[in-house]
Amino acid sequence: MYNLRFLFTLLILCNYAFVKAQVAIIESPDKQLRVDVHVDANKAFYTVIFQGKTILETSPLGFKTNEGDFSSGITFEGSKSSVVEKQYAQDRIKVSNVNYKANSLTVSFSNTDKKSFAVTFQVSNNDIAFRYDLPTWKDTRSVVIHEENTGYKFPSTTTAFISTMMKPMTGFARTAVSYESGYNIDSPISAAKSQYGFVFPSLFKVGENGWALLSETGVTSAYCASHLSEISAEGIFYVAYPQQEQNNGFGSTGAALSLPGSTPWRTITVGKNLNPIVQTTIPFDVVDPLYAPSQNYKFGKSTWSWIVWQDQSMNWDDQVKYIDLASALGYPYILIDALWDTNIGRDRMEKLIQYANSKKVDVFLWYNSNGTFNDAPQGPRNRMHTAIARKQEMKWLQKIGVKGLKVDFFGGDKQETMRLYEDILSDANDHGLMIIFHGATLPRGWERLYPNYVGSEAVLASEMLIFSQYARDNEAIFATLHPFIRNAVGSMEFGGVFFNKFLTKDNKSRNKRLTTDAFQAATAILFQNPIQPFALTPNNLTDAEPFLIDFMKEVPTTWDETLYLDGYPGQYVILARRHKEKWYIAGVNAKKEVIKLKVNASMLKSKTLKLITDDQNNSPKHQDIKIDKNGQFEISIQPNGGFVIH
């Protein structure tokens, strides 16, 4: 009897040890953030805990391929840990120097076919990045990943700040998807229903437990881009691949991967407040440059006629006016938009660039990205999506002195399109050209991966203020979202700062602007992009307040440091950004009432600075403001208003 009891106890202990061995745990260096990985019922899962509170409940891992199912029948094989430390300088993002330190955990699994794979987690303070690593399997050196089982299960009390994925092949000239939807703001996750899912990044308030921002990074030509599914009956958001309808139905929805190979990194930024969300550099921390810059690219401000004067301005005379405007403002660039190829012509464009150069202004030109993905008619078309035509065009562009391109109307998130993005960037670098993407997907670590990449739209941007009353009505609300969501993970080519009262050439009727001049000035700081095509018009030199024009001459487009000072997405936001030794503070108010705030800006203790704000009639005013010895100041912000301290 004793032997039986001993044997029974031994079996229990062995089983307990076996179960315990199925769990791998990793913590951040400050031990505030923890990820637990385990296998249950032959499926892999993970949980996320921050400061002892649940951010993600038990959430699934895995994927399905043409070489087998790696989402079920899973066996835990072991784990190993290491430390990752990295210091790097990076232009074109919210901060210029980054010190990254993370703990790394690689958890190994096998499926029912005895094929191995691993999940690597890197956990830094407030950030998680994880990806799947696939080896070769005997003679198998390639695989197609059809879908993922990767999921995110938030506690049921969580609310979401999320933007719907657009229905493919809809909208203007069948150009959707282009990441240009509005937002569900602070809505229960149970209401997160959308047939086409939700775009990255997505922000979640996990009750009283904290905040979480989901995104992905490191998407190159080697993979497709992904998004979130609608919430499942079990309360899980899954990583979803592009819909078949994208790219006019052409191309695979999965990813073809050479082995050994890895998926992109999925990222989770976590904080008790919004500061880690605003300051995160995780999209850039886990990727490295794919090639060296062919030259020292110069970033800065640009004029842009199309945004207010529209298609009719695509002519020689109006472009000369905007070149002269850039010269008067001291801006290094003009962006000449669609239809220049027919309205100005290639031969005259060379002469127009010579005129711009005589005014110390360089030129960005607009291009249609394709001729096959959608029906966008604007030209130049069919010059970017095939290698021979693209290289011929870029050789000519380099010859006539063009410094960059704005490439528009992309077809979606399939791997086919990711290859096009990368091919355009790589060829452009060979010819000394910077690239802005418009009507495009979210940049996923591209500032670090591609040295000539200078921004993407991927947001309901300034052009919709021209076309949509809905966008004008919600301009202030959306502006309080972008620093916490879209602009938190990558450069955002918004194209704003309007001083026209009416967003038309005559500035007298239609498209009335509902936000104040001070609000508009604030967005020059709140919205980060290394090349900023602003919406100023020639008449603003005489009809806008001189101090506003002086500020727009002064404001930089590159930053060395970014701080969250206050705010709540959908209500108001206050950020501070530093360029070299000079700090700028900006805020906007989307609430229906005046807000009065005491703000801490300890880096500016006892300093007297200039304040642009609104008076009670919503007219701009310029005055001194004193930061007290404790680094605090008080500010009132009008509804649909804003302020700048500089």
Same domain? For 17 and 73 the reply is yes
The per-residue pLDDT of the chain, averaged, comes to 96
Contact yes or no for 327/297 (Cβ under 8 A): no
Percent of the chain with pLDDT over 70: 97
Q: Is residue 146 classed as helix, strand or coil in its secondary structure?
A: strand
**Phi, psi for 398 (deg, rounded to 5):** -65, -40
> Is the pTM value of this prediction over 0.75?
yes
Amino acid at 582: K
Q: Domain end: 256, 285, 314, which one?
A: 285
- Quick one: average pLDDT of 302-312? 99
Q: State how far the alpha carbon of 517 is from the alpha carbons of 200, 476, 511, 543, 597, in Å.
A: 31, 12, 15, 12, 20
Reported as half-sphere exposure (CB side, CA atoms, 13 A), residue 380 has a value of: 22
pLDDT at residue 3 in the model: 52
Q: State how far the alpha carbon of 138 is from the alpha carbons of 118, 142, 360, in Å.
A: 16, 11, 60
Residue 340 domain-assigned?
A: yes
Percent of the chain with pLDDT over 90: 96
Taking 50 as the threshold, does the pLDDT of residue 493 lie above it?
A: yes
Q: Domain end: 443, 458, 473, which one?
A: 458
For residues 85, 418, 366 and 527, what is the CA-based torsion angle, rounded to 10 degrees?
-40
Point out which residues pair with 39 in neighbouring strands: 44
Rounded Cα–Cα distance for residues 493 and 459 (Å): 8
Residue 258 domain-assigned?
A: yes
- Quick one: average pLDDT of 162-179? 95
3-state helix, strand, coil in the chain (%, to 5): 25, 35, 40
- Quick one: average pLDDT of 128-145? 98
Contact yes or no for 154/138 (Cβ under 8 A): no
Q: Domain end: 285, 310, 338, which one?
A: 285
Residue 185 domain-assigned?
A: yes
Same domain? For 443 and 474 the reply is no
Amino acid at 30: D
Cis peptide before 29 (omega within 30 of 0): no
Domain holding 347: CATH number? 3.20.20.70
Other CB atoms within 10 A of residue 329 CB:
19
Same domain? For 18 and 127 the reply is yes
Find all residues with CB under 8 Å of 431, minimum gap 6, and list them.
294, 394, 395, 397, 398
pLDDT digit string (tens) for 47-102? 999 999 999 999 999 999 999 999 999 999 999 999 999 999 999 999 999 999 99
Taking 80 as the threshold, does the pLDDT of residue 577 lie above it?
A: yes
Same domain? For 413 and 549 the reply is no
Rounded Cα–Cα distance for residues 151 and 154 (Å): 10
Reported as half-sphere exposure (CB side, CA atoms, 13 A), residue 275 has a value of: 8
Rounded Cα–Cα distance for residues 520 and 509 (Å): 19
Residue 484 domain-assigned?
A: yes
pLDDT at residue 370 in the model: 86
Token digits for 55? 């951010």
Q: What's 164's DSSP letter?
A: B
Contact yes or no for 440/179 (Cβ under 8 A): yes
Quote the strand ranges of 272-391, DSSP E: 300-304, 333-336, 362-368
Domain holding 223: CATH number? 2.70.98.10
Taking 60 as the threshold, does the pLDDT of residue 153 lie above it?
A: yes
Same domain? For 397 and 514 the reply is no
Taking 60 as the threshold, does the pLDDT of residue 609 lie above it?
A: yes
Same domain? For 351 and 404 the reply is yes
Sequential DSSP letters for 432-461 = T-EEEE-S-PPPSSHHHH-TTEEEE--SS-
Residue 569 domain-assigned?
A: yes
Place of tokens 């302020």: 643
pLDDT at residue 2 in the model: 47
Rounded Cα–Cα distance for residues 634 and 205 (Å): 27
- Predicted confidence band at 371 (pLDDT cuts at 50, 70, 90)? confident
- Quick one: average pLDDT of 103-112? 98
pLDDT digit string (tens) for 442-476? 999 999 999 999 999 999 999 999 999 999 999 99
Same domain? For 71 and 178 the reply is yes
pLDDT at residue 8 in the model: 46
Taking 80 as the threshold, does the pLDDT of residue 16 lie above it?
A: no
Place of tokens 């010059």: 383
Same domain? For 281 and 309 the reply is no
Rounded Cα–Cα distance for residues 128 and 130 (Å): 7
Same domain? For 272 and 135 the reply is yes
Residue 87 domain-assigned?
A: yes
Find all residues with CB under 8 Å of 357, minimum gap 6, and list them.
401
- Quick one: average pLDDT of 357-364? 99
Amino acid at 384: M
Same domain? For 362 and 269 the reply is no
> Between these two residues, 164 and 17, which has the higher pLDDT value?
164
Structural domain count, the chain: 3
Best CA proximity match to 60, nearest among 45, 43, 73: 45
Same domain? For 190 and 171 the reply is yes
Q: Angle of helix 346-358 relative to helix 316-329, nearest 10 degrees?
A: 20
Helix (H) or strand (E) holding 552: helix 546-554
Same domain? For 100 and 226 the reply is yes
Rounded Cα–Cα distance for residues 212 and 202 (Å): 8
Which strands, in side-by-side order, build the sheet including 620-626? Answer: 561-568, 572-579, 582-589, 642-645, 608-614, 620-626
Which residues constitute the domain of residue 164? 11-285
- Predicted confidence band at 11 (pLDDT cuts at 50, 70, 90)? very low
Residue 403 domain-assigned?
A: yes
Residue 291 domain-assigned?
A: no
Rounded Cα–Cα distance for residues 537 and 541 (Å): 8
